Amino acid sequence: MQLAGQKSIAGQRPCAARTAVKQVRVAPVQASKSQKGRWSAMDAGNDQSDDQQDIARGRGMVDELFQGWGGTAGTANAIMNSSDYLSQAAKTFNNIEDGFYISPAFLDKITIHVAKNFMDLPKIKVPLILGIWGGKGQGKTFQCALAFKKLGISPIVMSAGELESGNAGEPAKLLRQRYREASDQIKKGKMCALFINDLDAGAGRMGESTQYTVNNQMVNATLMNIADNPTNVQLPGVYKNEEIPRVPIICTGNDFSTLYAPLIRDGRMEKYYWNPTREDRVGVCMGIFQEDKVARGEVEVLVDTFPGQSIDFFGALRARVYDDKVREFISGIGVENIGKRLINSREGKVNFEKPAMPLDILIKYGKQLVDEQDNVKRVQLADAYLAGAELAGSGGSSMPEAYAAQ
């Protein structure tokens, strides 16, 4: 029912000229580079904080009432430093220059061992540990470093000093932590390995006089357990079955017969005796003297002159040649002024021309080093002081050699 004076809504005609809505596009306002917002420190590219320390991000951004104390006791202060969360064991070899000699046999052994541990070979028991052993000063560690750089591996490193501790069980726990740390790197898609320097010095037994401690026993047992279960390495007190990537272990040493015999059996450790050939020794010495322009023929004569010396002998020989230059420097400034010139000097580091290294000079200094080695073997004062208990007198050990020859 429609009341009088009212028009039907349906009968109303729309207005012919309806006002068009004009759309206005507003350009976004960008802050100038000099303008800094309140939370700019958390913007992408500006955030310097560690993900483990998010508690420290809001310091100074809200009222102090909600921040706690401003000193070290405040709730917005991180307890640990960011460096505590970073690994101190990861090692890179970017500082090693190119041009050094890598033994083909040495590189072949490491490459095959690493490759086999990352392969899934059917019904093949691949030893997890590669033990490289040999004489002192033969360049085992440096050859490993060159091989790691060649393969693009940044290993997690342990030294023999970390295999003993005043707290029982700490070295074994550290060994598992380092292994899992290397496994995490592999999980991220990076080649990695666990590298243990001088394993026999830390876990071996050097004769009857060496004390065999609980830590020695646990390190040997932990390495055996890891070699048997390389994909299930748990920290002490954790027994969940967690599959982790396999990590090849490479260790160096001088005498692996000092280690626990079941550890070095063939199923767990593959052993490689490193005794560089003449060609290897010449190649390494060419790398030592590469900046001194010593010809290959002279290096071969030098190596043949001292055939019984280790490779580090030639490095010490090169350092001995610089003695004359250092002596000239000291005589020029005076002995009393050495400290002022060498420590925090405004003149910077001491630089002088490289000394010439002709073959006769190298052989002369080499014979001096050999004489010092012979003196250590010839004059064994420990026998005189402990066993013979010689006192100063007509035949005592304090007699100068010139008088003893008379």
Q: What is the pLDDT of residue 84?
A: 47
Domain 92-275: top CATH class: alpha beta
Q: What is the pLDDT of residue 76?
A: 57
Tell me what the mean pLDDT of segment 24-32 comes to: 60
Which candidate, 193, 205, 125, places its Cα nearest to that of 156? 193
pLDDT tens, residue by residue, 233-264: 887 777 778 889 999 999 999 999 889 899 99
Q: What is the pLDDT of residue 308?
A: 87
- Paired with 131 in beta bridges are 251, 271
* Most confident region among 139-143, 212-216, 376-380, 395-399 by mean pLDDT: 139-143
Measured between alpha carbons, how far is 393 from 406 in angstroms, rounded to an integer? 16
Give residues with Cβ within 8 angstroms of 355, minimum separation 6.
Answer: 321, 322, 324, 325
- Under the banding of pLDDT at 50, 70 and 90, the label for residue 34 is low
- Under the banding of pLDDT at 50, 70 and 90, the label for residue 211 is confident
Q: What is the pLDDT of residue 286?
A: 92
**How many other β-carbons are positioned within 10 Å of the β-carbon of residue 357?**
19
Which candidate, 201, 198, 206, 200, places its Cα nearest to that of 256? 200
Q: What is the CATH number of domain 279-388?
A: 1.10.8.1070
Q: What is the average pLDDT value for the chain, to the nearest integer? A: 80
Region(s) of the chain under CATH 1.10.8.1070: 279-388
Region(s) of the chain under CATH 3.40.50.300: 92-275
User: What region, left, alpha or beta, does residue 293 occupy, with left being phi > 0 and alpha being psi -120 to 50 degrees?
Assistant: left
Residue 82 has pLDDT above 50, yes or no: no
- Length of the chain, please? 406
Tell me what the mean pLDDT of segment 76-103 comes to: 66
Residue 347 has pLDDT above 60, yes or no: yes
**Residue 41 gets which letter from DSSP?**
G
Tell me what the mean pLDDT of segment 122-149 comes to: 92
Tell me what the mean pLDDT of segment 68-83 comes to: 54
pLDDT tens, residue by residue, 153-201: 989 999 988 988 888 888 999 999 999 999 998 998 889 999 999 999 8
- Under the banding of pLDDT at 50, 70 and 90, the label for residue 77 is low
Q: What is the pLDDT of residue 41?
A: 58
Q: What is the pLDDT of residue 68?
A: 60
- Bigger pLDDT: 206 or 375? 375
